[in-house]
Structure 1
Amino acid sequence: MLVVDDSALLWRLVSDVLGSADDVEVCGAAVDGLDAVEKVEALDPDVVVLDVEMPNLDGLGALSRIHESKPRLPVIMFSTLTERGATTTLKALSRGASDYVAKPTGTGSLAASKATVAEQLLPRVRALAGARKVVGSTAPAARPAPVPVAAAQGARPRVLVVACSTGGPEALSTVLRGLPPGFALPVVVAQHMPPVFTTQFAQRLDSICPLTVTEAAEGDVVEPGRVLVAPGDYHLRLSRSAGVVRATLDQGPKENFCRPAADPLIRSAVSVYGAGVVVLVLTGMGSDGREGCRSASLVGGRVVVQDEASSVVWGMPGAVAQAGLAHEVLPLNAISARLATLAAASGLRVNTNGHTNGAVTNGTANGTTTGLPRTAFGSDRVDVIRR
């Protein structure tokens, strides 16, 4: 792998950490974007760790140049936990970067910094290097066939829960952009992402998709026409009180080494909506979401996962599929249409023509007011009625 950073201290730290792993070889280091472009051509690494802010040619410019000649080469952005760093990193993800890792800050010692880099970076390097070899191979490694799962019980969908990690920002963007403006299900998202990044990620999604997207806050109402993204370093869960479903946030123990994590969000959705839960597991490293999907399947909910060919890393969706918990395994470009079909079967409708013809009721609308105030997003009123 190739390490690119204009700070000698940081590239030595990263090189030392990665080089200490038996299964990772650091083939070189570059001091700026131009140097990176040349060394990618000369060394042909399996993965590149790329700094965001560098002289001569920055990370965004280097990423574009690298992918001109090697479009499938995995690139991990190495970014600061700042608004500026988050903005640039999200741009890089939209332009083909595979993942990102935050630079260690405030760790207090070199040993702690190395431990942070090892925890965050090594698993990503291994996952992305392995994914590249599978994609580039003429004979992909055989996988056991997914265990068949009983069909979903046919309950009307009431909520969409999305889980994603490595490659997730762009996959989720693709899915949300493809949904119709009248998509009738509330959407809640657990994307493995640190603080600051989730705020800007939600803002970016809001600017490109037909639904209203916000970073979840304590007490937010979960309602059709709205997407709530779990904030960095907090678990997002759902709870119902007086007939209204709301978001709750906590900093409980990490699950699957993550906070936010998908499993607690899915479990909470199952406790609120039962068989009305639809879970979508997109590309991501690890197995977060598998046990939540097990809970959803046991009560008759529906589980959809992204297929291996269109995933950056088929860890999370693969774990669900191989456990026999996926009702459908779909390519990324087919997911939005399938979700639209499921939402249409919900019997709910988001009315965006400004007329008041139903009550917002979190899946129990019956044409009468239930205490939850009608909500206007921009100039559109969101009303839910049962067909």
Structure 2
Amino acid sequence: MSVALTSAPTRISSRTDKVRVMVVDDSVVIRGLIARWISAEPDMEVAASLRTGLDAVNQLERINPDVAVLDIEMPELDGISALPQLLAKKRNLVVIMASTLTRRNAEISLKALSLGASDYIPKPESTREASAAETFRHDLIQKIRHLGAKARRGTFHSTASPQLAPGHDGPRATPGATTVPAAPMQIVRRPFGLLSPKVLLVGSSTGGPQALMSLVAEIGPVIDRFPVLITQHMPPTFTTILAEHLARTSRRPVREAIDGETVRAGQIYLAPGGRHMRVARHRADAVIALDDGPPVNFCKPAVDPLFTSAIDVWQGSILSLILTGMGSDGMRGGKEIVAAGGSVIAQDEATSVVWGMPGAAANAGICAAVLPLSQIAPKLVRVFSGDRS
């Protein structure tokens, strides 16, 4: 890397009508790529492009970004060390950790979430592969748009809906527009299904790892008596690490699901990154059926394949839970579960990092309950114990 590339003056944008993004990566190629993608979007701009975490910490107050895309491995000060310093200077800064897909970086990314990072994104090993680069671009832009718009309105982790992207949950808001808050939408709740649930299905995305950790720590009585199947939007390696973390938190067996294995109570099955997890009936047993088909709702694994396939196995004896996440994955499958006689619970807007997935389900009128995260585990325990009020 030439001296000119590493010491060139940082470009600081002064416009304030867009989501301002600070890109921090020691690779000039990655910085340039991300900067071009951001600059091509009408509702966001590059506030600065920096080489090290130390540069980011020292220049944060001058740049004042809404979002930081922070690489993990950098000279002088790496991403995990820079993260708490950045958040100490700007508490509502949205930090998206970016890293290559290794076990070590997956561990660090999950640790970063516990330290206050908003989300993570795996960088492709090579940006020369068109499909890998396009997936990276799509995911990164969506994360910046949803999380950044919420932060700009000062409502991150609060009650305001995130800005929505085309093809997801609704129309896009005008970037930077001043709007009068709308009256809260009246969410129609439906009664819980009449049949006792025999399985718990969970879908989650952005903010999901933190929510899942909180959830599994409190639903031991459910796990012990019923199978629990989870689809979290995550790439390979990350799901391996997440399963290990969930096992430690729940003190129950948790692992990535294996194709053909029998589904039993006392076990949490996590959809492996890069494959859809479905279930099927084999004689008297329910078995895992992994699917290497195309992405569903831009995701692989996706929630809808799990939800819809479960109906053939458990009919209406299903309780499904939709946690924080972008998009609307899980809503269509949830509709089918409700039509079969099952029930859906969604996380509420105030405690969701992004209220896309649970919001889509809630606004579709398919939920028996829409609850803060802290109230979901107690409710699940009561419902699986026979209380469906």
Matched, 1:175 2:215: yes
1:73-222 to 2 correspondence within 5 Å? Answer: 73-108=93-128, 115-136=134-155, 140=160, 141-142=181-182, 145-180=185-220, 183=223, 184-222=225-263
Moved more, 309-318 or 174-183: 174-183
Structure 1 residue ranges (4+ consecutive) displaced by more than 6 angstroms after TM superposition: none
Q: 1:25 to 1:143 in 2, by over 3 A?
A: farther
TM-superposed deviation, 1:276: 1.2
Structure 2 equivalent of residue 350 of structure 1: none
TM-superposed deviation, 1:242: 1.7
The CA RMSD measured in Å over matched residues stands at 2.1
TM-superposed deviation, 1:327: 1.2
Q: 1:139 to 1:271 in 2, by over 3 A?
A: closer
1:25 aligned counterpart, secondary structure: strand
1:235-314 to 2 correspondence within 5 Å? Answer: 235-314=276-355
**Which runs of no fewer than 5 residues in structure 1 stay unpaired?**
347-387
2:316 aligned counterpart, secondary structure: helix
Q: 1:69 to 1:107 in 2, by over 3 A?
A: closer
Q: 1:341 to 1:139 in 2, by over 3 A?
A: closer
Q: 1:28 to 1:175 in 2, by over 3 A?
A: same
* TM-score, normalisation: structure 1: 0.84
Matched, 1:233 2:253: no
Q: 1:227 to 1:146 in 2, by over 3 A?
A: farther
TM-superposed deviation, 1:277: 0.7
Q: Counterpart amino acid of 1:280?
A: L
Moved more, 298-307 or 38-47: 38-47
Q: 1:40 to 1:113 in 2, by over 3 A?
A: farther
The 2-side partners of 1:139 and 1:343 are apart by: 29
8 Å contact from structure 2 (residues 99, 122) kept in 1: yes
Q: 1:181 to 1:326 in 2, by over 3 A?
A: closer
TM-superposed deviation, 1:81: 0.9
TM-superposed deviation, 1:273: 1.0
TM-superposed deviation, 1:304: 0.7
Q: Percent identity?
A: 42
Q: 1:256 to 1:143 in 2, by over 3 A?
A: farther
Q: 1:95 to 1:156 in 2, by over 3 A?
A: same
* TM-score, normalisation: structure 2: 0.84
8 Å contact from structure 2 (residues 213, 246) kept in 1: yes
Deviations 1:250-292 (A, max 9, x none): 1112110111000010011122112211111111010100000
Deviations 1:286-335 (A, max 9, x none): 01000001011112211111111111111100111111111111111111
The 1-side partners of 2:69 and 2:344 are apart by: 34
Q: 1:220 to 1:95 in 2, by over 3 A?
A: farther
Q: 1:144 to 1:136 in 2, by over 3 A?
A: closer
Deviations 1:171-198 (A, max 9, x none): 1111111223563221101111111111
Moved more, 287-296 or 5-14: 5-14
Matched, 1:37 2:54: no
TM-superposed deviation, 1:203: 1.1
